[in-house]
Amino acid sequence: MTRKRVHLAAHFPGVNNTTVWTDPRAGSQIDFASFAHLARTAERGGFDFFFLAEGLRLRELKGRIHDLDVVGRPESLTVLSALAAVTDRLGLAGTVNATFNEPYELARRLATLDHLSQGRAAWNVVTTSDAFTGENFRRGGFLDRADRYRRAAEFVRLSRELWDSWQPDAVVADPETGRFVREGGIGDVAHHGEHFSIEGRFTVPRSPQGHPVIIQAGDSDEGREFAASTADVIFSRHGTLDDGRAFYSDVKRRLARYGRRPRELKIMPAATFALGDTEEEAAENAAAIRRQQVGPQTAIAFLEQVWGRDMSAYDPDGPFPDVEPDLSEDLSQGRVPFGDRAAVAAKWRALAQEKGLTIRELVIEVTGRQTFVGTPQSVARQIDEHVQADAADGFILVPHLIPGGLDEFVERVVPLLRERGAVRTGYTGTTLREHLFDDESESEPS
């Protein structure tokens, strides 16, 4: 039996409490040097791609800008284009909203990035119907929640029509014959659909990948269906073994309906990690990072998001409060909501009671625990085992420190993954599609 190869990607961490900015080693979140450092580290590790998230409005809590986490980031595709100049093989994936963009312009930008990186561009298609974010855009919050993925699917379809409208050999540039473009090499596009109605001609020659890689990150049934029909990669939140396996089989099962094989869609959950020379040291490091990630003010802020009321009077190092949540109020704007807040509150309170936890201890316990904790050997083994157990095809690693948060992983864990034969020993292709799909050793699950 052949083994599945593990795919790895690097997430530049940003505006949530995963990123520890209080550490003395924490560098700039905006200087290009920080992005270049992380990207070069990922390339040294042979990672498939580098990933940037997006948020089109600064997050708010209680009507004010949330100031406890990193705030501010650059425009994704612009930074990725600059990174194309300082890397050679690494895929460059940017999150760009399908609600607040128009296909002609975004398809152009993605095709441009694919040319400028010689075949390394990827688009993480996210959707929103959020009127709060819409206040920064021409059309405001115009879209019904139910229509988000219909628009996204049509957006991607239309982008592909635009990318396909130039034949691969359209540009001949032959001074002898005087032909710059081949007769009939550039086709016209006419698309009249539910969300878009456009006619005309595209301006970018077909790019090295033809179609930049499509990533999807969204959890709803519609989101999964959209991914099954359209995406090359899913960025999921399901990093634990059980969760991961359930999600993996659910999504892979949906592929057949679209005539796609399981290996045509890679599932890559977000993953965090903490390393140590011994298991004990790794556990201590993990706990220390969690304490940095959940400072006293952050603990209260988490509580307020769930409880929907001002909790600033409570001592984060004191006992868990027994006030009821106010479900009529949602105090947070611009972030993915907590889901059923009443259930979350009940669960947190029960756990605090059972274990005798303070507010901060509880929040540390219930939010964002590292996916992988251990020695380099054990982390390499856990990652490989998750993939072989069909909990994932690989992971998008989210370091907690910028810019050096992946250095140790690449120096100590990647060589062990290579020894196990879990990852490539180097790049075998030049495009991101090749990194993702040229798996000689990978066999179809039968």
Ligand X SMILES: Cc1cc2nc3c(=O)[nH]c(=O)nc-3n(C[C@H](O)[C@H](O)[C@H](O)COP(=O)(O)O)c2cc1C
User: At closest approach, how far in Å is the CB of 132 from other proteins?
Assistant: 9
User: At closest approach, how far in Å is the CB of 56 from other proteins?
Assistant: 6
Which residue bears the tokens 């032909």? 179
| HEC per residue, 136-148 | CCCCCCCCCHHHH
Q: CA separation (Å) from 339 to 86, 133, 242, 336?
A: 41, 19, 20, 9
Q: Which stretch binds ligand X (CB under 6 A): 84-92, 153-161, 212-220, 404-412?
A: 212-220
95 near ligand X, judged by CB under 6 A: yes
Q: Which does 194 bind (CB under 5 to 8 A by kind): ligand X, other proteins, none?
A: none
Q: Which does 218 bind (CB under 5 to 8 A by kind): ligand X, other proteins, none?
A: ligand X
Q: Which does 219 bind (CB under 5 to 8 A by kind): other proteins, ligand X, none?
A: ligand X
Which residue from 205, 321, 415, 429 is in contact with other proteins, where contact means CB under 8 A?
A: 205
Q: Which does 53 bind (CB under 5 to 8 A by kind): other proteins, ligand X, none?
A: ligand X
Which residue from 39, 125, 186, 383 is in contact with other proteins, where contact means CB under 8 A?
A: 186
Site for other proteins in 53-72 (CB under 8 A): 55-58, 64-65, 67-72
Q: Are 194 and 120 spatial neighbours (Cβ–Cβ below 8 Å)?
A: no
214 near ligand X, judged by CB under 6 A: no
259 near other proteins, judged by CB under 8 A: no
Q: Which does 235 bind (CB under 5 to 8 A by kind): other proteins, ligand X, none?
A: ligand X
User: At closest approach, how far in Å is the CB of 148 from ligand X?
Assistant: 7
User: At closest approach, how far in Å is the CB of 33 from other proteins?
Assistant: 10
Helix, strand, or coil here: 223?
helix
Q: Are strands 7-11 and 49-52 parallel, antiparallel or unpaired?
A: parallel
Which residue from 6, 8, 9, 79 is in contact with other proteins, where contact means CB under 8 A?
A: 79
Q: Are 240 and 253 spatial neighbours (Cβ–Cβ below 8 Å)?
A: no
Q: CA separation (Å) from 293 to 65, 126, 289, 361?
A: 19, 26, 6, 12
| Binding map of other proteins across residues 37-56, x = CB under 8 A, - = no contact | ------------------xx
Site for ligand X in 215-274 (CB under 6 A): 217-220, 223, 235-237, 270
C-alpha 55/C-alpha 433 separation (Å) is: 26
* Surface-to-core class of residue 183, CB atoms within 10 Å of its CB (0-12 exposed, 13-18 middle, 19+ buried): exposed
Task: Render 310-359 in DSSP notation, one character per residue.
Answer: --TTS-TTSBPP-PPP-TT---EESS---S-HHHHHHHHHHHHHHHT-BH
Q: What is the phi/psi pair of residue 372, to 5°?
A: -130, 125
Q: Which does 223 bind (CB under 5 to 8 A by kind): ligand X, other proteins, none?
A: ligand X
Site for other proteins in 97-116 (CB under 8 A): 100-102, 104-105, 108-109, 112-113, 115-116
Give the interface size with other proteins as a residue count (CB under 8 A): 73
Which residue from 142, 164, 171, 243 is in contact with other proteins, where contact means CB under 8 A?
A: 171
Q: Supply the DSSP symbol for 8.
A: E
Which residue from 20, 83, 126, 233 is in contact with ligand X, where contact means CB under 6 A?
A: 126
User: At closest approach, how far in Å is the CB of 338 from ligand X?
Assistant: 13
Which residue bears the tokens 């049509």? 154
Task: Render 353-413 in DSSP notation, one character per residue.
Answer: HHHT-BHHHHHHHHS---SEEE-HHHHHHHHHHHHHTTS-SEEEE--SSTTTTTHHIIIII
C-alpha 205/C-alpha 203 separation (Å) is: 7
User: At closest approach, how far in Å is the CB of 169 from ligand X?
Assistant: 36
User: Which residues are at the interface with ligand X (CB under 6 A)?
Assistant: 53-55, 95, 97, 126-128, 217-220, 223, 235-237, 270, 336
